[in-house]
């Protein structure tokens, strides 16, 4: 027999709470060289989710000028896991290619001040509920979905499989890059060619 629900019982709001992030700088204070993609080293960060019942996700970093991607499997959406993923991304490239990171308002970016301190990064945050303000990484997420559809069990993916997806994207020619690949653009910028650790 079904239990009768109390009609007067208030349902909890499903609207997500706005994260409180210290030392937060608005995207509206981001300088023109970042907004117009005039210089290298400016990144957008996001989390690609899989099956809702699974904690594992993918931390996604996108370099705005070259469209280079960095993907790392994380155990959950905590700030600590995201911070470690970004640190792994940072050490894969010359330091000058990491000048700034733009986050949304999720708690994943709450440890941004630690990255600022250790790597002399600038960090910026989008307005609440305006993911389009970091449209580059959102578009990249759409490309990743070609390999990892919504609802996928990310826990079953190995680091090697995620790396293979990353490099398929980094070696895909882009019309906006005059049909060069992100890896080729970065190689031209650094002069290191295949010497860059990916």
Q: Give the CATH number, domain containing residue 126.
A: 3.30.420.10
pLDDT value at 132 more than 70: yes
**CA–CA gap between residue 34 and residue 64 (Å, rounded):** 8
Residue 2 CB-density burial (10 A; 0-12 exposed, 13-18 middle, 19+ buried): exposed
The reply to whether 1 falls in a domain is no
The model's pLDDT over 3-46, given as tens digits with 9 standing for 90+, comes to 444 444 444 444 445 567 899 999 999 999 999 999 999 999 99
Instruction: Work out the average pLDDT over 120-126.
Output: 97
**CA–CA gap between residue 109 and residue 111 (Å, rounded):** 6
Domain boundaries, position 57:
27-191
3-state helix vs strand vs coil in the chain, percent to 5: 40, 15, 45
The reply to whether 117 falls in a domain is yes
The reply to whether 15 falls in a domain is no
The reply to whether 85 falls in a domain is yes
The reply to whether 143 falls in a domain is yes
**CA–CA gap between residue 164 and residue 168 (Å, rounded):** 6
The reply to whether 16 falls in a domain is no
- Number of domains the chain contains: 1
Residue 103 pairs in a beta bridge with 125
Assessment of whether the complete model's pTM goes beyond 0.85: yes
The reply to whether 123 falls in a domain is yes
**CA–CA gap between residue 88 and residue 70 (Å, rounded):** 9
The reply to whether 37 falls in a domain is yes
């Amino acid at each position: 027999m079904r239990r009768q629900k109390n009609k007067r019982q208030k349902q909890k709001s499903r609207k997500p709470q706005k994260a409180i992030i210290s030392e937060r700088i608005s995207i509206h204070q981001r300088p023109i060289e970042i907004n117009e993609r005039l210089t290298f080293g400016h990144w957008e960060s996001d989390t690609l989710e899989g099956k809702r019942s699974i904690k594992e996700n993918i931390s996604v970093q996108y370099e705005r000028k070259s469209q280079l991607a960095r993907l790392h499997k994380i155990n959950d959406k905590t700030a600590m896991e995201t911070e470690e993923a970004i640190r792994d991304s940072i050490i894969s490239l010359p330091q000058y290619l990491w000048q700034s990171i733009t986050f949304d308002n999720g708690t994943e970016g709450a440890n941004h001040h630690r990255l600022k301190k250790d790597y002399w990064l600038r960090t910026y945050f989008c307005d609440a509920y305006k993911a389009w303000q970091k449209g580059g990484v959102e578009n990249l997420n759409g490309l990743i979905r070609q390999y990892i559809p919504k609802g996928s069990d990310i826990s079953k993916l190995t680091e090697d499989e995620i790396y293979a997806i990353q490099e398929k994207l980094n070696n895909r020619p882009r019309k906006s890059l005059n049909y060069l690949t992100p890896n080729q653009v970065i190689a031209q910028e650094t002069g290191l060619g295949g010497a860059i650790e990916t």
